[in-house]
Structure 1
Amino acid sequence: MVVLEHSIDTPKRGRTVSTSSVTVTGMTCDHCVSSVTEEISALPGVTSVNVDLATGKVVIDSTTDLDPGAVADAVEEAGYSLAG
């Protein structure tokens, strides 16, 4: 089961932004970060993706709630997996 940490931020440009975070395992370099960022950014509604290579934490801003399964699939498509 995939669990996204989730919060609702203040409206930006008239839209409420949802912020979710996950931890990705197996990333070791900037190319890893780019791959994960690219795959998650392609999900509908995603407006930004910030990856901390040292901790594996990925913070995702979106205009809608994200489907945890879709996030897990995107991470797997990049060649990595979610912690937990």
Structure 2
Amino acid sequence: MSESCCTPDHSCSTNNATAATTATAVAESTVTVYRVSGMSCGHCRTAITEAVGALDGVRAVEVDVAGGLVTVTTGGAPDDAKLAEAIDDAGYELTGRA
């Protein structure tokens, strides 16, 4: 007979641990939206995604070329100066937070 993941009070110990881990990961993430000028195509999206995604602490990058917005998910507070530098090095300009 295989071991059950259920505890004596009929709760699932596996699901509880997973839920706690997921809640912690979400709680530690910060989502910040930036305005970026100079974007016009899919190449722009790729260049910014790669440049910003390579920074320490960045968990996700979403680029809205048409809206001129870059959404960055970080593990904690974002470093605006490093983000601006990475975007500038890619050939674009971070003009502020949205």
Q: TM-score range by the shorter chain?
A: 0.7 to 0.9
Q: Give how far 1:28 is off.
A: 0.9
**CA distance in 1 between partners of 2:93 and 2:63 (Å):** 14
Aligned to 2:95: 83
Aligned length: 74
Match of 1:68 in 2: 80
- Normalised by the length of structure 2, the TM-score is 0.69
Structure 1 position 23 matched with structure 2 position 35 = yes
Aligned-partner SS, 1:27: coil
- Which has the higher Rg, Structure 1 or Structure 2? 2
Counterpart selection for 1:49 from 51, 56, 61: 61
Counterpart amino acid of residue 73 in structure 2: D
Where do 5+ consecutive residues of structure 2 fail to align?
1-19
Give identity over the alignment, percent. 35
Q: Which runs of 4+ in 1 moved over 2 A?
A: 11-15
TM-score by length of 1: 0.80
Once the two structures are TM-superposed, the CA of residue 83 in structure 1 deviates from its matched residue by 2.1
By percentage of residues, which structure has more helix? 2
